[in-house]
Amino acid sequence: MSPVFFETPFGYSIDITFWFKLFSQPPFEIIQSLVVIVGWTLIAFVFIEMGAELWVMYRQGKYTKKWQWMLLAVNIPPLYIQTPKAVEQVFAHLSGAKTGPNLWEKFWLGKKQKWFSIEIVSIDGYIQFLIRCESEFRDLVEAAIYAQYVEAEITEVEDYVDAISGNFPDKDYNVFGVEFGLGENQAYPIRTYPSFEYNISKDLVFSDPMAAILENFSRIGKGENLWFQIILEPTGNGWKKEGIELVKEIVTGKKKYKKDRTLLYFFNSVPRKVLLELRNIWYWQFEPDELGSSEEVEVPGKVSELTPGVKATVEAVEDKIAKIGFKTKIRILYVARHEAYNPGRCIDGFIGSLNQFHIQSRNSIVPTKTTEAFYWFKTRHLDYIKRKFVTAFKKRKLKVGGSPYILNIEELATLWHFPLPFVKTPLLQKAETKRGEPPMNLPLELSEQHIRLKRVGPPESAVEPEPDVPKELPYA
């Protein structure tokens, strides 16, 4: 085949023999040739991206090995009156832990954002509020709590999750876990604590939503445990764009679809774009619908035309994005000995207590994953699910299971706050109102501790025992 040249208006000739020969082939052979020519570049991009992800995971693994986690028990005086607004300020304080690693820190040092876990545990019916953090942020956590609760007691304790091995089947324990997510778009808010205020007299009455939650923790008996965790990771303000777009969709009544980035969309859109360009060049009189144009005339909506309910939803979304948000994951785990195992005693009630945060046309907290299996080889698959769930719970993993979602500080303070004095929860650990030095030689009544204080110093086995002293000593 003789060479084929294309003469340009500038006096240059371009050899297009290769492309002329390529597109003179049958369609199937053209596709094969294009795959051979450009297909390897796509494969190369995939392998480069996978390699970069694996490298970051490797460096982050080395970086996180240096972290030292600690668990802090928080006790509040029983007559200390503070609304959930105080806990909302605590979470705003914790947002100061936000760090943004640059490329060098991310790809070489493996630096990543540290997170917190706020928890409520019931061990044999004894209820304790806990906060887990990395040692770097202990001062931050204590400062945030003492700023709102001056008489609070904060003590480092041993991690209660070490009571179970996490290997199933377990000869001593059985577990049932539930992971929760949002029922709607994360830009929609759940019902928050200001909605639990109502008037039945001249005084304002607050129906504490924590009462319904803690009631399930108080039903735990001997040999049973109920562990509740909310994992928080500080994040930036990028999530607020989703709320802004949602408000625009509600007001205008038009849904904005995300652009499809797949190769199929690319190849399908090429002919349409070519025809649109030809129309613009030669002024072909095509209607937009004939060419499948996606261009639409924006008709601005008016807030005054919205119904009262829709207006309230728009205001709620705007209120949510106006406050600080955290990446969040919520889990609950019931752990009990085989002879006392009865998850229906508290799990069903706990799920029901979360329904009080549901608002129609906004959002709700719903179960998304449970430690159940419905497949063949059910027993073996169920043990695998339990091992995976317990491991994620013990390590407080954010990205294991469903995708994390955004809750702002007002929503978090609604779900986790210290109950008001009128909430009568038995066996809830509280701080003493006044503390003083005990008298000397005070006899102590020893009892089993459900959450043990963390020992600082050598273990008991390393301490030399005192020498035996005879009962009767001769007088000098």
For residue 178, which of 388, 371, 354 has the smallest C-alpha distance? 371
The answer to whether 96 touches 164, Cβ cutoff 8 Å, is no
Give the residue, 285 or 107, on which the prediction is more confident.
107
For residue 197, give the 3-state DSSP assignment: strand
pLDDT at residue number 112: 86
Would you give the end-to-end CA distance of the chain in angstroms? 125
Residue 453 CA: distances (Å) to CA of 71, 116, 121, 159 = 10, 20, 15, 10
pTM to 2 decimals? 0.75
Is 50 exceeded by the pLDDT of residue 295?
Answer: no
Which tokens hold the place of 107? 């790809």
Residue 81 CA: distances (Å) to CA of 10, 11, 268, 436 = 84, 87, 63, 22
**Alpha-carbon distance 289 to 320, whole Å?**
39
For residue 125, give the 3-state DSSP assignment: coil
Is 50 exceeded by the pLDDT of residue 87?
Answer: yes
Segment 216-233 mean pLDDT = 94
Residue 384 CA: distances (Å) to CA of 167, 225, 341, 448, 471 = 9, 21, 19, 33, 59
Is 60 exceeded by the pLDDT of residue 340?
Answer: yes
Is 90 exceeded by the pLDDT of residue 24?
Answer: no
For residue 362, which of 258, 246, 256, 254 has the smallest C-alpha distance? 246
Give the residue, 26 or 466, on which the prediction is more confident.
26
For residue 129, give the 3-state DSSP assignment: strand
Q: Sorting pLDDT into bands at 50, 70 and 90, what band is 407?
A: very high
The answer to whether 230 touches 116, Cβ cutoff 8 Å, is no
Residue 25 CA: distances (Å) to CA of 12, 170, 261 = 27, 66, 29
Count the Cβ atoms, other than its own, within 10 Å of residue 422. Answer: 11
Residue 107 carries which DSSP code? I
**Alpha-carbon distance 117 to 96, whole Å?**
15
**Alpha-carbon distance 445 to 430, whole Å?**
19
Burial of 73 (0-12, 13-18, 19+ CB in 10 A): buried
**Alpha-carbon distance 428 to 214, whole Å?**
9
Q: Sorting pLDDT into bands at 50, 70 and 90, what band is 131?
A: very high
Dihedral angle, C-alpha 16, 19, 24, 25, nearest 10 °: 150
Query: What number of CA atoms fall less than 13 Å from residue 328's CA on the CB side?
Result: 27
For residue 64, which of 19, 115, 99, 21 has the smallest C-alpha distance? 115
Comparing 121-135, 236-250, 408-422, 433-447, the range with the smallest average pLDDT is: 433-447
Segment 378-404 mean pLDDT = 89
**Tens digits of per-residue pLDDT, 39-72?**
777 778 888 888 888 888 888 888 888 889 999 9
- Say whether the peptide bond before residue 438 is cis (omega within 30 degrees of 0): no
Count the Cβ atoms, other than its own, within 10 Å of residue 281. Answer: 8
Task: Give the CATH class of 67-243+306-415.
Answer: alpha beta
Segment 214-230 mean pLDDT = 93
The answer to whether 87 touches 148, Cβ cutoff 8 Å, is yes
